[in-house]
Amino acid sequence: MSNEEAHWIVLKFGGTSVSSLENWKNIVSVIKQRRAEGYRVCMVHSALSGISDKLEELIERAPENETGELVQEVKNRHYELGEALEVPVDELLADDFSELEHMVKGMELIGEASYRVQARLLAMGELMATKLGAAYVRRELGTGAWIDARDCIRTETLKDVSERSLILAAVSATDEDASVRERLDAAGDLVVTQGFIGSDENGKTVVLGRGGSDVSAAYFAAKIGADRLEIWTDVPGLFSANPQTVPSARLLNHLSYKEAQEIATNGAEVLHPRSILPARKHHIPIHVRCTQRPELSGTVISDESSDDAALVKTIAVRKDVVLISMESLGMWQQVGFLAEVFEVFRQYGLSIDLISTSESNVTVSLDPGLNSHFHDVRKLFVEELSGLCRVKVIESVSAVSLLGRRIRTILHQLGGAFEVFEEQKVYLVNQAANDLNFTFVVENEQAERLVRQLHDHIITQSGNQQSFGLTWPELMGEQEKDVRDQQPWWKEKQEQLLDLVERSGTSYVYDTDTLKKYAAMIESIDPVDYRLYAMKANANPEVLRTFRELGFGFECVSIGEVRRVLELFPDIDRGEILFTPNFAPRTEYGEALELGVNLTLDNIYPLREWPALFEDEELFLRIDPGHGHGHHKHVKTGGMHSKFGIPRFEIEEVAERVEELNITVRGLHAHIGSGIKDPYSWKRTAIILHEVAEELGGVDILDLGGGFGIRENETEAHLDVQEVASSLEQFREAHPGYELWVEPGRFLVAVAGVLLTRVTQLKGKGQVKYVGVDTGMNSFIRPALYGARHTIVNLSRLDEPNSQSVNIVGPICESGDKLGIDRLFPHAGEGDVVLVANTGAYGQVMSSNYNLRPPAGEIVI
């Protein structure tokens, strides 16, 4: 391709990216690649990391003549990098260093710095850094022209804009600009220039506001009509939440400009909010990528919206928002009242972000970015506003926003997520008119927890794999090394498993080593005193034996389960069995009491209707904590619409009857559902049970239930077991008088089990391909019942590449008899062994003889 035809591409590298030799090596290889692809490269870069801060500090401290050390620090940073890059710093930066010293002296003399001087000083950071960078690039690539961005980015003198903004937060036009393009064309096909800086109509230096290098890069891209804008930074893209506080946050593979704008505006600091519009206007795709990991593809922002289904993409939080609540003094309905109120905001230069109104109150939030002067004007502003209404300033609150598209249309699906607000005070709810943003304002301390919970409910559990990529730890290879990250046990035991199928045919296989590993994780939750295995998940005798050996008790939900435990372990202490029936017939309660096992009532009915049965007995009570959690509505077991547990409003009556009948309530029990990844869930249950326990008196045991979530497939996050432990530790410190019990089921056995079945027939209906196997929903009903997604592999061909997308279906006469839909699969042949992973829980126990097809048997290894 000749230069005339070559297209430009803009690469922007941030402060951290340009501060080490290691990163510079990556930068050079990216530039090389782009040039090899035939692009001309305009590289825009920031000051070295932290230098803009130091220069701001210089401006602040100059009047006190305390700047000598700071100037030296700034110089040293450049010497250090220059040495690492092996470029001659003195030669390259001598003029800049002396100009810097000169300016600082001037500021000290005058005792303050005008906006003009501030802009010139701040611009030094970018000017110095790019001189080092350009020298390095030139040496490595043999080409590269340093260009002064001030010759390209001319800023506009807007009306009604303060002098400060015109100089320190300037804006430029976003039209194509032939003169800029010509300037770059003339400089060659690789230029290195500065972010952040420009010049005004008089040619004087201005800057674009902190973080403005992104904006510069977008201006360059717009002005020269670049094919693409790449923002290279120290994170691998934009995420579904801040990965620092939500480790399960997922990379956003693709965003529309509008979504990206909303995310950038609402707190993600990866991309400057003003950098999107110029790109959007010219349909220039933005790629956000990580300098340290150039092989990752990052986030792509473009108008090529893959689909426009409603979706929450990010949960963002902005801390330290200020709310102004205005209560009317009777003049509410008067025409012009709001106008008068807002006029006061205008007068004080306060920019309003969110608004929420009621009959007699208007509450607004101040845009945190734009109102740094609020504290200076607060007193006068409040005084003036108080003339119109009763004013309350609410501080230390955070705005938590759900960002995505067409959020209004999916609010009903968010029902479960909203349960998290039960214990929270919400100061303001705001739905953006563009339907891309739904915001709640809550206390600062609550914000992080709320974000984690909302994220868990809305994003982790959505199972959407198209929009959401890997988590930060997965991308950056920082996964904690626990057993859950090892490669699946069935890969290691492939040969053994294939042999087993050869001999025994289609079967469930349970791996005892894996059972033990998961048991150890539950045992590591220190504050828990006693663990029961909820045997309804898997009642295989050998599995039960393993848990008995490990010292677990048994939680049973039917008299049949109780009997099985007693048959297997006739000597077991009856106290190690907890029987928790739901709507069971009266006889089961009688039998349990006779057997002497712990018995849980989960309804007031037995006490009212069969009082004689329970007189003088010890009982557990199952309480409905009032909310439910879980991966699917069928597995939520708390809340009004769940059939489990005694509602809180009946506790008083329960207490009376307990007293009358001389019953001892030994323990309270709650179980709110399954597949829970929110580590605080058990502590919340403990708090609620504790309240009830105090009401009833005499309770020793709080059984917090199970529901410990596993990673159902490779796209999911782990439950943070340590966090469960430390939150329960806090509870235990606050309320040392209680024994804590838990009763996991699925968590203990799911991963240890696989279902092995064989391919019967293949079918292709055009694009839709079917792989038939010899058992289906008769053995394993979770996919049909809950839409559960289980990893499925062709165990006979583990090493062969996936070549097609298939549905894996069973032989049952039922169109829902599908084990997996749209799975990438290698070419399969009749007789191949297909493995369905994580089927150790609720597999065999839920199987049936439907169609008179016997379900898979069980083998324990």
DSSP string, 460-497: GGG---SSEEEEHHHHHT----SGGGSPPHHHHTHHHH
Spatial neighbors of 168 by CB under 8 A, at least 6 apart, are 115, 118, 119, 122, 206, 207, 209
Q: Cβ closer to ligand ASP: 58 or 441?
A: 58
Q: In the stretch 162-201, what mask flags binding to Mg ion with x, by CB under 5 A?
A: ----------------------------------------
Instruction: Spell out the long-range contacts of 416-424 with Cβ–Cβ below 8 A and sequence spacing 24 or more.
Output: 416/457, 416/628, 416/629, 416/633, 416/636, 417/453, 417/454, 417/457, 417/458, 419/627, 419/628, 419/629, 419/639, 420/450, 420/453, 420/454, 420/457, 422/626, 422/627, 423/684, 424/450
851 Cβ contact partners less than 8 Å away, ≥ 6 residues apart: 778, 811, 812, 813
- The item of Mg ion, ligand ASP, none sharing an interface with residue 381, based on CB under 5 to 8 Å by kind, is none
Q: Per-residue x/- marks for ligand ASP, 178-207, CB under 6 A? A: -----------------xx-----------
- Of 413-432, binders to ligand ASP (CB under 6 A) are none
Which of 370/813 has CB closer to Mg ion?
370
Nearest to 533 by CA among 544, 518, 542, 523: 544
Residue nearer to ligand ASP on the CB measure, 196 or 620: 196
Per CB under 5 A, 125 contacts Mg ion:
no
Binding segment (CB under 6 A) for ligand ASP, from list 208-216, 456-464, 809-817, 831-839: 208-216
Q: What's the chain's Rg over C-alpha atoms?
A: 33
Positions annotated as catalytic residues are 813
Minimal distance, residue 14 CB to Mg ion, in Å: 5
The yes or no reply on residue 47 touching ligand ASP (CB under 6 A) is: yes
Among 7, 35, 54, 210, binds ligand ASP (CB under 6 A): 210
Q: Does 285 bind ligand ASP (CB under 6 A)?
A: no
Which partner from the list Mg ion, ligand ASP, none does 195 bind, CB cut-off 5 to 8 Å by kind?
ligand ASP
From the list ligand ASP, Mg ion, none, pick the one residue 52 interacts with, judged by a Cβ distance below 5 to 8 Å according to partner type: ligand ASP
3-class SS of residue 24: helix
Nearest approach, Cβ of 702 to Mg ion (angstroms)?
48
Query: Nearer to ligand ASP by C-beta: 52 or 461?
Result: 52
Please give the structure tokens belonging to residue 646.
């005694």
Nearest CB to ligand ASP, comparing residues 18 and 509: 18
Minimum distance from CB of 521 to Mg ion (Å)? 39
Number of residues that bind ligand ASP (CB under 6 A): 13
CA distance 693 to 200: 71
3-state secondary structure of 457: helix
What is d(CA 681, CA 704) in angstroms, rounded to the nearest whole number?
9
Cβ–Cβ < 8 Å for 6, 226: no
**What single DSSP character describes residue 650?**
G
Q: Looking at 105-113, 204-212, 238-246, 470-478, which segment touches Mg ion (CB under 5 A)?
A: 204-212
Dist CA 194 CA 489 (whole Å): 52
CB of residue 27 to Mg ion, shortest distance in Å = 16
Q: Is 273 in the site for Mg ion (CB under 5 A)?
A: no
- Residue 825 CA to residue 794 CA, distance in Å, equals 7
CB of 60 to ligand ASP, least distance (A): 15
The residue (of 211 and 469) whose beta carbon lies closer to Mg ion is 211
Nearer to ligand ASP, 56 or 140 (CB): 56
Say which amino acid occupies 259.
E
Q: Which helix (H) or strand (E) holds 759?
A: strand 753-765
Q: How far is the CB of 353 from Mg ion (least distance, A)?
A: 21
Shortest separation between residue 376's beta carbon and Mg ion, angstroms:
27
The angle, 0 to 180 degrees and rounded to 10, between the axes of the packed helices 51-61 and 115-141 is 150
Read off the tokens for 484: 């859950």
Place of tokens 């032989």: 811
With CB under 6 A as the contact rule, the residue among 174, 213, 757, 807 that binds ligand ASP is 213
> Of 211 and 625, which CB lies nearer to Mg ion in the complex structure?
211
The one-character DSSP state at 240 is S
- Residue-wise DSSP of 344-378: HHHHTTPPEEEEEE-SSEEEEEE-GGG-TTHHHHH
When the beta carbons of 10 and 668 are compared against ligand ASP, the nearer one is 10
Q: Which is nearer to ligand ASP, 116 or 548 (CB)?
A: 116
For the chain, the straight-line distance linking the first and the last C-alpha, in angstroms and rounded, comes to: 63
Residues 481-500, mask of contacts with ligand ASP (x by CB under 6 A) = --------------------
Regarding 637 and contact with ligand ASP (CB under 6 A), the answer is no
Residue 745 touching Mg ion (CB under 5 A): no
**Which range in 173-181, 212-220, 368-376, 587-595 contacts ligand ASP by CB under 6 A?**
212-220
Within 10 angstroms of residue 391's Cβ, the number of other Cβ atoms is 18
Minimum CB separation from Mg ion for residue 215, in Å? 10
54 binds ligand ASP (CB under 6 A): no
Among positions 90-149, residues that touch ligand ASP (CB under 6 A) are 125
- Minimum separation from the CB atom of position 474 to Mg ion (A): 24
Q: How far is the CB of 107 from ligand ASP (least distance, A)?
A: 19
User: What residue number has its CB nearest to Mg ion?
Assistant: 211
- What helix, strand, coil percent values describe the chain, rounded to 5? 40, 25, 35
Distance CA 218, CA 200 (A): 18
CA distance 703 to 742: 6
Indicate the residue type of 158. L
Of 205-234, binders to Mg ion (CB under 5 A) are: 211
Spatial CB neighbours of 400, under 8 Å, sequence gap ≥ 6: 315, 316, 317, 439, 440, 441, 442, 447, 450, 451, 454
- CB-CB neighbours of 79 under 10 Å: 15
CB 134 within 8 A of CB 82: no
CB of 77 to ligand ASP, least distance (A): 13
Residues numbered 10 to 29 that lie near ligand ASP (CB under 6 A) are: 14-15
3-state secondary structure 382-413: HHHHHCCCEEEEEEEEEEEEEEEECHHHHHHH
Per CB under 6 A, which region of 210-218, 315-323, 330-338, 742-750 contacts ligand ASP?
A: 210-218
Nearer to Mg ion, 211 or 772 (CB): 211
Which of ligand ASP, Mg ion, none does residue 212 bind (CB under 5 to 8 Å by kind)? ligand ASP
- Which CB, 61 or 210, lies closer to ligand ASP? 210
Give the one residue of 20, 46, 172, 291 binding ligand ASP; rule: CB under 6 A: 46
Residue 466: both structure tokens together: 């198209």
Q: Residue 125 touches which of Mg ion, ligand ASP, none (CB < 5 to 8 A by kind)?
A: ligand ASP
Contact of residue 47 among ligand ASP, Mg ion, none (CB under 5-8 Å per partner type)? ligand ASP
**Minimum separation from the CB atom of position 645 to Mg ion (A):** 50
Tell me the β-bridge partners of 621. 601, 668
User: Which of 20, 23, 52, 838 touches ligand ASP by CB under 6 A?
Assistant: 52
Residues that bind Mg ion (CB under 5 A): 211
Residues that bind ligand ASP (CB under 6 A): 14-15, 46-47, 52, 125, 195-196, 210-214
